[in-house]
Amino acid sequence: MKAYVLEGIGRLNYKDVPMPELNSGWALVKVEAAGICGSDIPRIFETGTYHFPTVPGHEFAGRVADVCDEKDRAWIGRRVGVFPLIPCQECLACREEQYEMCRNYDYLGSRRDGGFAEFAAVPVWNLIELPDGMRMEAAAMLEPASVALHAVRRLKIEPGDTAALFGLGTIGLIAAQWLRIFGVRTLYAAGHHKEHGMKMKQTAHASYEYLDAGGKEGDREVVSRILEATGGAGVSIAIDCAGTNETLANCLNCVKPGGQVLAVGNPKGDMALEKEVYWKLLRKQLRVTGTWNSSFCHDPGDDWHTVIDAYGKGTLHLTDLITHRFAFDQLKTGLAAAKARIEYQNKIMIVNEHEVRHLR
């Protein structure tokens, strides 16, 4: 089969490789759509995966082509999404079904081969069956949609709450949708492209306000505008989906006393707060919450099942966030676009030939 194999930092090769071997409890998934995540860029070009060689890609969906065990044969032919975190099933977090906090997890696309290939080996436990009518490219966005939901669920949202959100990538834009679904009617969202605002209004809420954070004084101006709009009080909830010193400081500066700050974005480097900003965390008696990954435990109320339910009801919009589509053999072009960021982009999707023909 064909696969993209990372053989060293920046050395991603498109080549023929053997079909994955299946161990007991595992399935072979024919990959039909895979999304490029923002974390794929540093993983491929800057830091590398945990070992080489590795097939990257953790946002993918497809159809079960084979299984190892006879008892799992009913899965063959089913359309599936893939939860990429493989829990150890033994640590305290796993025993409490909080698999996203597993101490000894494995991970498709970074610690073992993932979805940038024609086929991927996946534990049957990590599969979720897709409903009829759910497009494969939407299913490949189940992972970021679930991450965004998991984050918003960490908040205690009350009627009348106002919110600010910094960072309008895929997870930020989906988080804005979850805020709307959970009843937040006033949101100030900061980004660096006017297209961010257009996508947010299209998918989340037409009344949500977009604030341009571009320019030298962008961050300071955004905080000032939020404080002005709230009569100096600040917002009830501030969410950092970018993971920078500036965006975290913005959250602490614009949230009201006793408010909530939610840290979502992966850090770009070491994090440090100025003393005067840290004082605000203390003096405002803020509740600062972290979030990691998403809940998946084969329960109708877990994050992944909730995403599928909201998508089916039409309240959650995923494919509208796709700005670029490439065929499987053009993955490197998609990665180059994601790395260069010369033009506006959100989700870049890699689809198989059938999906490409269908989209045309």
* CATH architecture, domain defined by 2-145+294-359: Alpha-Beta Complex (3.90)
Cα angle: 249, vertex 251, 257; to 5 degrees: 110
Compute the distance between CA of residue 175 and CA of residue 177 in angstroms, rounded to an integer: 5
Q: Among 269, 230, 274, which residue's Cα sits nearest to residue 252? A: 274
Compute the distance between CA of residue 317 and CA of residue 125 in angstroms, rounded to an integer: 27
Domain ranges in the chain with CATH number 3.90.180.10: 2-145+294-359
Cα angle: 82, vertex 84, 88; to 5 degrees: 120
Domain ranges in the chain with CATH number 3.40.50.720: 155-290
Q: Which amino acid makes up residue 291? A: T
CATH of 155-290, one of 3.40.1190.20, 3.40.640.10, 3.40.50.720, 3.10.450.50: 3.40.50.720
Compute the distance between CA of residue 79 and CA of residue 118 in angstroms, rounded to an integer: 15
- Below-70 pLDDT ranges, the chain: 215-218, 353-360
